[in-house]
Structure 1
């Protein structure tokens, strides 16, 4: 499948698969099309420590670029406990456990449709 261009739905699901392969926890894929114009999907997941957060982010970036996805913006750092990857229609939030609890994006976007939730 490497090198195959992915549509937005496939791209979002690929992020979930990559995060799962890197042992991210509490992976949530939200369809936000009906509640926001900023993107189609949010993927929210957690890493246990800064090293894992960085590994998840770097692998998502590297693997999606192989499928023609463009990373428009990267924000945050593993040390801060939060990295955001903006692929346009798919936005990825990778949190440390404390930061995930503090920001509680799931509650902010509670009106969004849950597509996938992996604990």
Structure 2
């Protein structure tokens, strides 16, 4: 592994690696939500879409692989079996990759943004 020890990796480094991997792997509608000071769960949440179940799983698998190779992080993943919604948890940054219909149904962005604030794309 070329990465730094996980304790030395900052949430900013993880976020940058996540956004690069999502962009490289053609994730769509990428949204970054800063949760510092709002929850102890994580510092950042990233939400993205894939066009199909297969692409959702592929984006999440490639993200986990990229994080392992670039930063030495082994994230936890859940949801690869169905491919509707895959969660990639690095600890500091949590990534949700959805099929568009499932993303529309759950609307996670709305849950974490202040009332009246529009969703902003990370791109």
Match of 1:21 in 2: 24
Unaligned runs of 5+ in 1: none
Matched, 1:7 2:6: no
2:79 to 64, 76, 87: 76
Using the size of structure 1 for normalisation, the TM-score is: 0.86
Structure-2 change in CA distance of 1:9 and 1:65 (3 Å): same
Counting strand residues as a fraction of each chain, which structure ranks higher?
1
The Cα shift of 1:47 comes to 0.2
Larger Rg: 2
Aligned alpha-carbon RMSD (Å)? 2.1
Count residues with an aligned counterpart.
Answer: 115
Q: Is the 8 A contact 2:54 2:83 kept in 1?
A: no
Unaligned runs of 5+ in 2: none
Which runs of structure 2 are paired with 1:63-102 in the superposition (5 Å)?
A: 63-66=66-69, 67-71=71-75, 73-77=76-80, 79-102=82-105
Using the size of structure 2 for normalisation, the TM-score is: 0.84
